[in-house]
Amino acid sequence: MALDDHIERILWTENEISIRVSELASQISIDFKEFPSPVVVVGVATGAFLFLADLAKKIKLPIVVDLIRVESYGSGTESSGSPKISSDVKVDIRGKHVIVVEDIVDTGNTLCCVISHMQSKGALSVSVCAFLDKPARQKSHFELVGEGKFYRGFECPDYFVVGYGMDFAELYRNLPYVGILKPELYQ
């Protein structure tokens, strides 16, 4: 079965994603323009890898890019509730303004974990740029640090979505769009 045939329905096309990511990058470029030191943009691997790449290319400021690896879903569709940082950032966060880049905020557990981790490392502010936000499922309330801002690409309906970095059992991350898997593939 070809890759596209695994998808029941497309929620956001490659073109729609590109337009929205440009808008987010423009807003970030405006909001952080006057900041004296380069902003540290931290992508949450693995899911945020495509969003991070597209967003970073469109931010018209000198930024530092780094990655943190956090996992909570394993190979299933339900959050374990306790995300684990399996690989930390490389750059020094102390005294820096940080933007955490996430592919999706579902329960919010991962974001809570990353934000408090950045705060404990001495970030001056922590903002979040989430490609998708699924308010229907949010349990963990997260608080931004300092003058941190929240950026959201799209509000996601309550489906298990794949593509544009997001996986099911490590598959489908390479889809250039976001869609819903055919139910027979994950049930």
Catalytic residues: 106
Contacting residue, 16, 137, 167, 173, with Mg ion by CB under 5 A: 167
Residue 152 sits at φ, ψ, to 5 deg, of: -135, 135
Residue with tokens 């250039």: 176
Closest distance of CB 167 from Mg ion, Å: 5
Distance separating alpha carbons of residues 95 and 115, to the nearest angstrom: 15
Per-residue binding string, ligand PRP, 147-186, x by CB under 6 A, is: --------------------x-------------------
**Which of 154, 160 has the CB closer to Mg ion?**
160
Contacting residue, 44, 93, 129, 132, with ligand PRP by CB under 6 A: 44
List the alpha helices (DSSP H) in the chain: 14-31, 49-58, 109-120
Residue with tokens 């405006």: 30
Residue 46 is a binding residue for ligand PRP (CB under 6 A): yes
Residue 108 is a binding residue for ligand PRP (CB under 6 A): yes
**Which of 26, 86 has the CB closer to ligand PRP?**
86
Closest distance of CB 64 from Mg ion, Å: 25
CB 158 within 8 A of CB 11: no
**Where are any strands of DSSP class E within the chain?**
7-12, 40-45, 64-71, 84-87, 97-105, 125-133, 150-155, 161-162, 178-181
In the complex, the residues that contact ligand PRP under the rule CB under 6 A are 44, 46-47, 71-73, 79, 83, 102-111, 167
Binding positions for Mg ion, rule: CB under 5 A: 73, 167
